Amino acid sequence: MPKKLLLLPPLSASSPFRVPRARPAPPPAMNAARTGYRVFSANSTAACTELAKRITERLGAELGKSVVYQETNGETRVEIKESVRGQDIFIIQTIPRDVNTAVMELLIMAYALKTACARNIIGVIPYFPYSKQSKMRKRGSIVCKLLASMLAKAGLTHIITMDLHQKEIQGFFSFPVDNLRASPFLLQYIQEEIPNYRNAVIVAKSPDAAKRAQSYAERLRLGLAVIHGEAQCTELDMDDGRHSPPMVKNATLHPGLELPLMMAKEKPPITVVGDVGGRIAIIVDDIIDDVESFVAAAEILKERGAYKIYVMATHGILSAEAPRLIEESSIDEVVVTNTVPHEVQKLQCPKIKTVDISLILSEAIRRIHNGESMAYLFRNITVDD
């Protein structure tokens, strides 16, 4: 007799004899894991890459492989020599004397990295160029706003900078801006390197710098002095577009419209508000470029009895004849950070000293890449710093 086939019912999903099928693994989510990061220098000169090397040494990383150079016709060319796809890229750009070339190097490198599919492009610009042109002057333009728009168009998604000339500049950008402060490093220098600093007084060379000087004085528990008078010429004295054209008494106006005449501004004789006699005078500011105003302030402080004069600033641009003027002046020491390369100026004037700020820049890079809070870098920092 033929054998009958025994048909078994199909196994249910819960049956212990069912062999489970291997399900294909789901595709990994985009950016689910933290990507890597690379640090590039956008400078074509060796003197400007020193800060980038210090930062990468502190991070324990290597400087990204790239070539930045000027062609014979003056054009800037940037070549990225490694893959940056899906990574966080930090471009360190220090600004030398040739500001416009440095800006183009930064823009072209950012656009090259954007084209190479970098995940985020963060510009580390310790000294932000054109920051003094952040207000309307007569029929001029707000160049700083233009530069902010260009950086966004080139592909930058974030900026790390230090001591912007005007803090309102952050509003020009359409992406986050971290405006770090150099004051903790300068305060530490005062406490450790200036003998008998308890006998010092913090000086503002103009009323515009009084808030910054007050912040330094309060944290060091020192006195405050302000220089005021006709020898000072500040940005606020310049006419803007609202005063153009100037009012003329016999000008043809609309019938029945008579505007009051503008009274000319007249400054009082130069005075020092505060006692500096027999004290160490420490002048603080954010930028020291043309040093004539600092030299004039030092002469006034010497006449008022200050026996030693220091100048502290974040950005030491020191252009033109600044080293020679400092060497021949009553200033005993000029202390600046390395946001701007100034090794040539130091060779010309031994009074110039440098404070390294690569520590805070490297920590900012680490925190941004890891998604950590930046609040630690701003502890005990006031708005007026």
Contacts of 93 (CB under 8 A, 6+ apart): 41, 42, 43, 102, 105, 106, 123, 124, 125
Q: Residue range 200-218: average pLDDT?
A: 94
- The yes-or-no verdict on residue 89 having pLDDT over 50 is yes
Q: What are phi and psi of 210, to 5 degrees?
A: -65, -35
For residues 122 and 152, is the Cβ–Cβ distance under 8 A? no
Q: Who wins on pLDDT, 238 or 322?
A: 322
Does residue 245 have a cis peptide bond before it, meaning omega lies within 30 degrees of 0? yes
In the Cβ-directed half-sphere of 97, how many Cα atoms lie within 13 Å?
Answer: 8
Fold of 183-231+269-355: Rossmann fold (3.40.50)
- CATH placement of domain 38-180: 3.40.50.2020
Instruction: Give pLDDT tens digits for 6-42.
Output: 555 555 555 554 545 555 555 444 333 346 999 999 9
Q: How far is CA 109 from CA 82, 133, 155, 381, in A?
A: 13, 24, 9, 33
- The yes-or-no verdict on residue 153 having pLDDT over 90 is yes
Nearest to 86 by CA among 48, 59, 110, 113: 113
Let me know if the fold of 38-180 is the same as that of 183-231+269-355. Answer: yes
Angle (nearest 5°) at CA 189 between 188 and 191: 65
Helix residue ranges, H only, the chain: 50-59, 99-115, 143-154, 183-193, 210-220, 292-303, 322-328, 343-348, 358-370
Instruction: Give pLDDT tens digits for 245-271.
Output: 555 555 555 666 676 776 777 777 788
Q: Which of 240-249, 342-351, 352-361 is predicted with the least confidence, judged by mean pLDDT?
A: 240-249
Domain extents in the chain: 38-180, 183-231+269-355
Q: Residue range 306-310: average pLDDT?
A: 96
Q: What are phi and psi of 39, to 5 degrees?
A: -120, 125
How sure is the predictor about 238, in pLDDT bands with cuts at 50, 70 and 90?
low
For the chain, the average pLDDT equals 86
